[in-house]
Amino acid sequence: METVTVLEDRWHPRVVTDGPSIDRARAHGAAVDLLTALGLDLTVEHLADTPRRMVDALVELTSPPEFELTTFPNDDEYDELVLVEDIPVQSLCEHHLLPFVGVAHVGYLPGGRILGLSKFARMVDHHARRPQTQERLTKRIADHLQRALEPRGVGVVLDAQHTCMSLRGARATGSRTLTSALFGQLRDDARSRSEFLDLTRGRR
């Protein structure tokens, strides 16, 4: 699932990520085998349909939804930071296939185009729906914004809790992982960088 395909015109692309083809029948058989091997009795009414639900849930959590990345000309030459905070993030860690959940703060310094505000949340959700690391997810969102908008700077901060280390294993309940990806002026210009980081720090 590496390719983000950009269709139609440059400033109003449909964003489509080609996933692997899914073999539901095989996944269902494997879920039956897994649950049975774990000692669960699938003849109990509550559990009878659990393999199907498991497959549906995993497919839903790993299928990036298409969306239109609508941009507009920056007619007013707005040149300050645009920051959308507290965008929900729900993804799966690729090591345990357990959820990590939290929020993203996404900002940019506009160039010639500005982005439709809802598209920050759509972009986060699009990239979140796959098994991965938090580091990679953070970078992917920033890379995509950079390519799509050609802005003067991009900044992405993710603040998430990994259930693989809170509900099991280390059982570090409440611990949070912060990751960031900064490009352009938000990385290289000290004033812009600290403005962005101070504002996002205010959310924590």
Ligand X SMILES: Nc1nc2c(ncn2[C@@H]2O[C@H](COP(=O)(O)OP(=O)(O)OP(=O)(O)O)[C@@H](O)[C@H]2O)c(=O)[nH]1
Residue 150 and residue 112 in contact, taking contact as beta carbons nearer than 8 Å: yes
What separation in angstroms does the CA of 196 have from each of 48, 82, 85, 110?
50, 9, 11, 14
Indicate whether 40 belongs to the interface with Zn ion (CB under 5 A): no
Q: According to CB under 5 A, which one of 6, 84, 164, 197 is a site residue for Zn ion?
A: 164
Closest CB 10 distance from ligand X, rounded Å: 33
Residue pair 124/85 in contact by the 8 Å Cβ criterion? no
96 among annotated binding-site residues: yes
Q: Which is nearer to ligand X, 69 or 137 (CB)?
A: 137
Closest Cα partner for 203 from 139, 145, 158? 158
In the residue annotation, 94 being an active-site residue is answered as yes
Nearest alpha carbon to residue 157 among 115, 126, 195? 195
Beta strands in 60-137, from DSSP E residues, in sequence order: 67-68, 71-73, 82-93, 99-109, 113-115, 131-132
Q: Report which residue's Cβ sits closest to ligand X.
A: 169
Binding test (CB under 6 A) with ligand X, winner from 33, 101, 169, 204: 169
> Would you call 164 a catalytic residue per the annotation?
yes
Q: Which stretch binds ligand X (CB under 6 A): 39-47, 73-81, 112-120, 129-137?
A: 129-137
List, by residue number, the catalytic residues: 93-96, 134, 162, 164
Which positions make up the binding site for Zn(2+)? Answer: 93, 96, 164
Footprint on this chain of ligand X (rule: CB under 6 A): 93, 95, 133-135, 162, 164-165, 169-170
